[in-house]
Structure 1
Amino acid sequence: MLTITTLKQILAEPKKIVVTTHYKPDGDALGSSLAMFMWLKSKGHQVHLIVPSDYPAFLHWMPQQEQAIIYTENKVISDEIIAQADLLFCLDFNGLARTHDMQEALRKATALKLMIDHHLDPEGFDDFRHWTPTAAATAFLAYDFIVNQLDDRASITPEIASCLYTGIMTDTGSFRFRSTTAEVHLVIADLISLGAENAQIHEFVFNSSSENRLKFLGFCLLNRLVVLPEFNTAYFSITKDDLTRFNIVTGDTEGLVNYALSISGIKLAALIIDRTNQIKLSLRSIGDFPANEICAKYFNGGGHKNAAGGHDNLPLEEVVQKFKAILPLYTEQLTS
């Protein structure tokens, strides 16, 4: 494993660098990646940002996001860029499978791989690791990497600050999750002092819904929300037809699971969606209930204790029944 001293020496000379993140990037994934992309470019490196897929429209305002190469739309050129890279910066994922179709190209790459991430149980593909599983967001670690590890706070522009702010804000639920420590607030204050316009960022992210998305939200709350009071659990089950009916696009289901978790007394919430090729699950919990354990044991996934995800190849209704059948195993934790 590379040391930070060795990495500083490597970065002292211009390099060909690829920055990438996980499939269907969220605010933390794209925010941390864009920040690292801009910072590396400012140091004189030849940098490409390649994302495995498209990302939500509410992130299209972010500085230099138009520079991102979407792998699913540009596979050939992306594979060439990855093959020629000296360094790969891998942000907000700890296993190459999370890049979906990109993982083969990344595994074959001869470049040194640097992981900046906060998810549990890293796969071990990396040559350098800036990893803290208790960190509030990967963007928080990206800030720490630039400011504290490399002692380069002076290079954080307002654009970089805005991207880092967005990543931390979105992954902490607007600073309400318990991962929001005093240190997080100090970093946020510093990012604002460096030019992040917090009010404007909140406006861009949270007040940019389409009419279809709002109607979809109302439909789901009325027709797809199921509450299981005996297990202090609530879930949404979304069909392919639901997605088609409201012309749902990437990002439109973001945050839906939190409405189930917001019900008084609910300890576990799930969003179960038929994505045609797979059934996707997003779990959220409060307190010490291990949402990540359920995803890891039963749904080929994982994540954080209070925010996790997984998938299944069974039909939607069978996945719903499987999820419900698991709950009695956790009765004591859910009802105590």
Structure 2
Amino acid sequence: MNLESIKAVKQLLSQPQKIVIVPHKNPDGDAIGSTLALWHYLVDRGQEAVVIAPNDYPKFLKWMPGNENILNFERENSQAKEKIAEATVVFTLDFNHLGRIGQMQSVLEDLAVPFVMIDHHQAPSDYAEIMYSDVSMSSTCEMVYNFIEFMGDVDKISLEIANCLYTGIMTDTGSFKFRSTTGRTHRIVADLIDKGAENTQIHHRVYDTNTPGRLHLLGCALKNMVILDQYRTAYITLSQEELDAHEYQKGDTEGFVNYGLTLEGIIFAVIFIENKEEGIVKISFRSIGDFSVNEFARAHFEGGGHNNAAGGKSDRSLKETTLFFESLLVNYKEQLTA
């Protein structure tokens, strides 16, 4: 965050504001952790603030302090629109294009107030007057820690803020194993633990609360895995029928895509999940090394994200999507087998 942006935010927050904080649609640990951490920080500073999520999110994230104050735009639409209409400032976290917030997009696009973006994804759009965008960061939660530091308030990080930030950093770094995890990341995490972050309990709450249905669904996903050794690629499919048979709940497929990368020699892993309600196949891409799944997703599946983690979608059937995906790999064989 440059000096000019820091001064602009300090000026904004030097007077009382009505602040709306927004994560992306289908928010994950980093999105909920960062928005709640910022919410606690702003409220502790005496600001009036509210987090409005575009839609629901997994149960394993709902233990975080402040969760009960989040408005769900789909479920609490009139109340959420009222808060947006009253807003004097909007913070958008963990996304950089208003197309990532579903039904909220048109509402926010009509809002004539300052926007502040805090995000670590590639190719940001220019909707925000104040942008803190850094693709080298491990997570938006790490950036919120930095934001609080830029404001001169690291000593004001409470137990609640520490727990939220730790959760987002832990989940978005794959428990600190992804390449974006730096020495700075670990130093921040150490400070959060010193400030009270309950690291062992957080890991348990996020990763050790599986239902039998989720574990059975994982077994189904692994059974469906296709391994393409010639492209150092593995992919998983899950049909709507398979999701329904295992009583799928939001968040149940979180992390499934990473199992492909545990195979020796595999550097590209994908999961294709059919969603008949939306009429699409949702896709998650992961890679190891220099193969950019961000570029792959942008080029072929209306998606994007990071070099080693991205998402996308397909309007084709599940079978047609996987056949199309396989047909693309021949064009990337040199990159995948280098």
Q: Using structure 1 for the length normalisation, give the TM-score.
A: 0.98
Which residue does 2:179 correspond to in 1? 178
Structure 1 position 155, deviation (Å): 1.6
Which residue does 1:197 correspond to in 2? 198
Q: Per-residue displacement from partner, 1:118-177 (whole Å, max 9, x unpaired)?
A: 000001110111111110000000000001x10101221011001001111100000001
Which residue does 2:209 correspond to in 1? 208
Kept in 2: contact 1:116–1:131 (CA 8 A): yes
Kept in 2: contact 1:83–1:110 (CA 8 A): no
CA RMSD of aligned residues (A): 1.1
Alpha-carbon distance in 1 for matches of 2:156, 2:132: 19
What is the letter of the counterpart of residue 162 of structure 1?
N
Instruction: Work out the percentage of aligned pairs sharing the same amino acid.
Output: 43
Kept in 1: contact 2:285–2:311 (CA 8 A): yes
Which residue does 1:58 correspond to in 2? 60
Structure 1 residues 1-336: aligned runs within 5 Å: 3-147=5-149, 149-222=150-223, 224-276=224-276, 277=278, 278-336=280-338
What is the letter of the counterpart of residue 246 of structure 1?
H
Alpha-carbon distance in 1 for matches of 2:209, 2:330: 39
Structure 1 position 3, deviation (Å): 2.8
Structure 1 position 49, deviation (Å): 0.7
Alpha-carbon distance in 2 for matches of 1:221, 1:10: 50
Q: Per-residue displacement from partner, 1:215-260 (whole Å, max 9, x unpaired)?
A: 11112112x1111111110001110101110111110000000011
Structure 2 unaligned regions, length at least 5:
none
Could you say what secondary structure the match of 1:73 adopts? coil
Could you say what secondary structure the match of 2:102 adopts? helix
What is the letter of the counterpart of residue 44 of structure 2?
S
Structure 1 position 46, deviation (Å): 1.1
Alpha-carbon distance in 2 for matches of 1:104, 1:81: 15
Deviating above 2 A after TM superposition, structure 1's stretches of 4 or more consecutive aligned residues are none
Could you say what secondary structure the match of 2:100 adopts? helix
Could you say what secondary structure the match of 1:151 adopts? coil
Alpha-carbon distance in 1 for matches of 2:85, 2:111: 5
Q: Per-residue displacement from partner, 1:56-86 (whole Å, max 9, x unpaired)?
A: 1111111111111001111222122112100
Could you say what secondary structure the match of 1:72 adopts? coil
Alpha-carbon distance in 1 for matches of 2:61, 2:12: 32
Alpha-carbon distance in 2 for matches of 1:87, 1:216: 42
Q: Per-residue displacement from partner, 1:257-280 (whole Å, max 9, x unpaired)?
A: 001111110010000011112111
What is the letter of the counterpart of residue 184 of structure 2?
E
What is the letter of the counterpart of residue 77 of structure 1?
Q
Could you say what secondary structure the match of 2:209 adopts? coil
Could you say what secondary structure the match of 1:199 adopts? helix
Could you say what secondary structure the match of 2:328 adopts? helix
What is the letter of the counterpart of residue 177 of structure 1?
F
Corresponding pairs, count: 334
Alpha-carbon distance in 1 for matches of 2:230, 2:7: 55
Could you say what secondary structure the match of 1:204 adopts? helix
Kept in 1: contact 2:8–2:130 (CA 8 A): no
Could you say what secondary structure the match of 2:74 adopts? helix
Could you say what secondary structure the match of 1:250 adopts? coil
Q: Which range is displaced more, 65-74 or 5-14? A: 5-14
What is the letter of the counterpart of residue 178 of structure 1?
R
Could you say what secondary structure the match of 2:51 adopts? strand
Q: Using structure 2 for the length normalisation, give the TM-score.
A: 0.97
